[in-house]
A and B are shown apart, each in its own frame.
Chain A
Amino acid sequence: MASNEDKPAVKEEENAGSWKDAIFNPRTGEFCGRTAKSWGLILLFYLVFYAFLAGMFVLTIWVMLMTLDDYVPRYRDRVPHPGLVIRPKELDMLINRSQPVQYTRYVQTLESFLQQYNDTEQERNEVCTAGDYFDQEGEVGEPKKACQFKRSSLSRCSGLSDSTFGFAEGRPCVLLKMNRIIGLKPRGEPYVNCTAKRDTPVQMQYFPSEGRFDKMYFPYYGNKLHERYVQPLVAVKLLLNKEDYNTELTIECRIEGSDLRNNDDRDKFLGRVTFRVTVVE
Chain B
Amino acid sequence: KYPYRVTCFLSHFYIFCGLTNAKAAEYLIRDGPNCLTPPPTTPEWVKFCRQLFGGFSILLWTGAILCFLAYAIQAATEDEPAGDNLYLGIVLSVVVIVTGCFSYFQEAKSSKIMESFKNMVPQQALVIREGEKMTINAEEVVAGDLVEVKGGDRIPADLRVVSAHGCKVDNSSLTGESEPQSRSPDCTHDNPLETRNVAFFSTNCVEGTARGIVVCTGDRTVMGRIATLTSGLESGKTPIAKEIEHFIHLITGVAVFLGITFFILAVFLGYSWLEAVIFLIGIIVANVPEGLLATVTVCLTLTAKRMAKKNCLVKNLEAVETLGSTSTICSDKTGTLTQNRMTVAHMWFDNQIHEADTTEDQSGASFDKTSITWGALARVAALCNRAVFKAGQDQLPILKRDTAGDASESALLKCIELSCGSVKQIREKNKKVAEIPFNSTNKYQLSVHETEDPNDNRYLLVMKGAPERILDRCSTIIIQGKEQPMDEEMKESFQNAYMELGGLGERVLGFCHLLMPEDQYPKGFAFDCDDVNFTTENLCFVGLMSMIDPPRAAVPDAVGKCRSAGIKVIMVTGDHPITAKAIAKGVGIISEGNETVEDIASRLNIPVSQVNPRDAKACVIHGTDLKDLSQDQMDDILRNHTEIVFARTSPQQKLIIVEGCQRLVSHTDTHTLTHTHGAIVAVTGDGVNDSPALKKADIGVAMGISGSDVSKQAADMILLDDNFASIVTGVEEGRLIFDNLKKSIAYTLTSNIPEITPFLLFIIVNIPLPLGTITILCIDLGTDMVPAISLAYEAAESDIMKRQPRNPTRDKLVNERLISIAYGQIGMIQALGGFFSYFVILAENGFLPSILVGIRLNWDDRSCNDLEDSYGQQWTYEQRKIVEFTCHTAFFVSIVVVQWADVIICKTRRNSVFQQGMKNKILIFGLFEETALAAFLSYTPGMDVALRMFPLKPSWWFCAVPYSVLIFVYDEIRKLLIRRNPGGWVERETYY
B425 within 8 A of A: no
- Say yes or no: A53 contacts B832, CB within 8 Å: yes
- Say yes or no: A179 contacts B828, CB within 8 Å: no
B802 to chain A, nearest CB (A): 14
- Say yes or no: A64 contacts B835, CB within 8 Å: no
A220 to chain B, nearest CB (A): 7
**Set B840, B844, B866: member contacting A73, Cβ < 8 A:** B844
- Say yes or no: A224 contacts B865, CB within 8 Å: no
Which A residues lie within 8 Å of B809 (CB)?
Answer: 8, 12, 15
Which A residues lie within 8 Å of B868 (CB)?
Answer: 180
**Set A13, A42, A56: member contacting B832, Cβ < 8 A:** A56
Which B residues lie within 8 Å of A71 (CB)?
Answer: 871
B616 to chain A, nearest CB (A): 12
A89 to chain B, nearest CB (A): 7
- Say yes or no: B966 contacts A56, CB within 8 Å: yes
Bound-state Cα–Cα, A249 to B68, Å: 39
Bound-state Cα–Cα, A11 to B811, Å: 12
Bound-state Cα–Cα, A10 to B668, Å: 8
B738 to chain A, nearest CB (A): 17
- Say yes or no: B807 contacts A8, CB within 8 Å: yes
Which A residues lie within 8 Å of B989 (CB)?
Answer: 41-42, 45
Would you list 5 pairs from A and B whose C-beta atoms are within 8 A, ordered by A residue?
A8-B809, A12-B668, A12-B809, A16-B676, A179-B874
B639 within 8 A of A: yes
A242 within 8 A of B: no
Stretch at the interface among B230-238, B258-266, B877-885: B877-885
- Say yes or no: B865 contacts A83, CB within 8 Å: yes
Which B residues lie within 8 Å of A75 (CB)?
Answer: 844-845, 953
B874 to chain A, nearest CB (A): 4
> A218-237: which residues lie under 8 A (CB-CB) from chain B?
220, 222-224, 226, 229
- Say yes or no: A182 contacts B873, CB within 8 Å: yes
> A37-59: which residues lie under 8 A (CB-CB) from chain B?
41-42, 45-46, 49-50, 53, 56-57
B16 within 8 A of A: no
B875 within 8 A of A: yes
**Set B669, B873, B874, B879: member contacting A16, Cβ < 8 A:** B669
A266 within 8 A of B: yes
B54 within 8 A of A: no
Bound-state Cα–Cα, A224 to B642, Å: 84
B634 within 8 A of A: no
A61/B876 contact (C-beta < 8 A), A11-B810, A15-B809, A78-B845 known: no
- Say yes or no: B668 contacts A91, CB within 8 Å: no
**Set A46, A57, A82: member contacting B836, Cβ < 8 A:** A57
Look across to chain A and name the residue whose beta carbon is closest to the beta carbon of B675: A16
Look across to chain A and name the residue whose beta carbon is closest to the beta carbon of B848: A65
- Say yes or no: B668 contacts A179, CB within 8 Å: no
B869 within 8 A of A: yes
Which B residues lie within 8 Å of A49 (CB)?
Answer: 825
A79/B873 contact (C-beta < 8 A), A13-B669, A53-B829, A68-B843 known: yes
- Say yes or no: A8 contacts B810, CB within 8 Å: yes
Look across to chain B and name the residue whose beta carbon is closest to the beta carbon of A45: B989
Look across to chain A and name the residue whose beta carbon is closest to the beta carbon of B878: A267
Which B residues lie within 8 Å of A56 (CB)?
Answer: 832, 962, 966
> B896-945: which residues lie under 8 A (CB-CB) from chain A?
none
- Given contact pairs A9-B668, A16-B669, A83-B874, a sample of 14 additional A-B residue pairs in the complex whose CB atoms are under 8 Å apart: A4-B804, A8-B807, A8-B809, A12-B665, A12-B668, A16-B673, A65-B848, A68-B843, A73-B843, A78-B886, A83-B866, A179-B875, A182-B872, A222-B873
Look across to chain A and name the residue whose beta carbon is closest to the beta carbon of B844: A74
A223 to chain B, nearest CB (A): 3
- Say yes or no: A65 contacts B875, CB within 8 Å: no
- Say yes or no: A60 contacts B676, CB within 8 Å: no
B39 to chain A, nearest CB (A): 36
A6 to chain B, nearest CB (A): 8
- Say yes or no: B871 contacts A17, CB within 8 Å: no
B116 within 8 A of A: no
A85 within 8 A of B: yes
B985 within 8 A of A: yes
Which A residues lie within 8 Å of B642 (CB)?
Answer: 1-2
A134 within 8 A of B: no
Number of residues in A with C-beta < 8 Å to the partner? 59
- Interface residues as binary, B791-802 with A (CB distance below 8 Å gives 1, 0 otherwise): 000000000000
- Say yes or no: B839 contacts A5, CB within 8 Å: no
B674 within 8 A of A: yes
- Interface residues as binary, A142-168 with B (CB distance below 8 Å gives 1, 0 otherwise): 000000000000000000000000000
- Say yes or no: B872 contacts A91, CB within 8 Å: no
- Say yes or no: A269 contacts B865, CB within 8 Å: yes
Looking at B825, B835, B846, B863, the one whose CB has the most chain A CB atoms below 10 A away is B846
B824 within 8 A of A: yes
**Set B639, B673, B836, B953: member contacting A2, Cβ < 8 A:** B639
Which A residues lie within 8 Å of B874 (CB)?
Answer: 82-83, 85, 179-181
- Say yes or no: A226 contacts B840, CB within 8 Å: no
B849 within 8 A of A: yes
Look across to chain B and name the residue whose beta carbon is closest to the beta carbon of A270: B876
B640 within 8 A of A: yes
Bound-state Cα–Cα, A73 to B879, Å: 15
Residue ranges of A at the interface with B (Cβ–Cβ < 8 Å) = 1-2, 4-5, 8-13, 15-18, 41-42, 45-46, 49-50, 53, 56-57, 60-61, 64-65, 68, 71-76, 78-79, 82-83, 85, 89, 91, 177, 179-182, 220, 222-224, 226, 229, 264, 266-270, 273
B672 within 8 A of A: yes
- Say yes or no: B876 contacts A269, CB within 8 Å: yes
Bound-state Cα–Cα, A75 to B844, Å: 6
Looking at A17, A79, A223, the one whose CB has the most chain B CB atoms below 10 A away is A79
B847 to chain A, nearest CB (A): 8
> B763-809: which residues lie under 8 A (CB-CB) from chain A?
804, 807, 809
A46/B824 contact (C-beta < 8 A), A60-B962, A73-B846, A223-B871 known: yes
Which B residues lie within 8 Å of A5 (CB)?
Answer: 639
- Interface residues as binary, B972-992 with A (CB distance below 8 Å gives 1, 0 otherwise): 000000000000010001000
Which B residues lie within 8 Å of A50 (CB)?
Answer: 828
B564 to chain A, nearest CB (A): 12
Which A residues lie within 8 Å of B883 (CB)?
Answer: 78
A8/B665 contact (C-beta < 8 A), A56-B966, A60-B962 known: yes
Which A residues lie within 8 Å of B844 (CB)?
Answer: 68, 73-75
- Say yes or no: B828 contacts A12, CB within 8 Å: no
A16/B810 contact (C-beta < 8 A), A2-B642, A65-B843, A269-B865 known: no
> B649-688: which residues lie under 8 A (CB-CB) from chain A?
665, 668-669, 672-674, 676
- Say yes or no: A181 contacts B676, CB within 8 Å: no
Look across to chain B and name the residue whose beta carbon is closest to the beta carbon of A73: B846
Look across to chain A and name the residue whose beta carbon is closest to the beta carbon of B863: A91
- Say yes or no: B845 contacts A73, CB within 8 Å: yes
A268 to chain B, nearest CB (A): 8
Bound-state Cα–Cα, A68 to B962, Å: 19
Going nearest first, the 8 A-B pairs with the smallest beta carbon separation are A223-B872, A83-B876, A179-B874, A267-B878, A73-B846, A9-B668, A74-B844, A269-B865
- Interface residues as binary, B60-71 with A (CB distance below 8 Å gives 1, 0 otherwise): 000000000000
Which A residues lie within 8 Å of B824 (CB)?
Answer: 46
Which A residues lie within 8 Å of B807 (CB)?
Answer: 8
Bound-state Cα–Cα, A245 to B669, Å: 87
Looking at B669, B674, B865, the one whose CB has the most chain A CB atoms below 10 A away is B865
A17/B876 contact (C-beta < 8 A), A9-B668, A73-B871 known: no
Look across to chain A and name the residue whose beta carbon is closest to the beta carbon of B842: A73
- Say yes or no: B836 contacts A60, CB within 8 Å: yes
B740 to chain A, nearest CB (A): 24
Which A residues lie within 8 Å of B849 (CB)?
Answer: 61, 65
Bound-state Cα–Cα, A181 to B845, Å: 12
A267/B836 contact (C-beta < 8 A), A15-B810, A64-B843, A75-B844 known: no
- Say yes or no: B672 contacts A78, CB within 8 Å: no
Look across to chain A and name the residue whose beta carbon is closest to the beta carbon of B828: A53
Bound-state Cα–Cα, A268 to B76, Å: 27
Look across to chain B and name the residue whose beta carbon is closest to the beta carbon of A8: B807
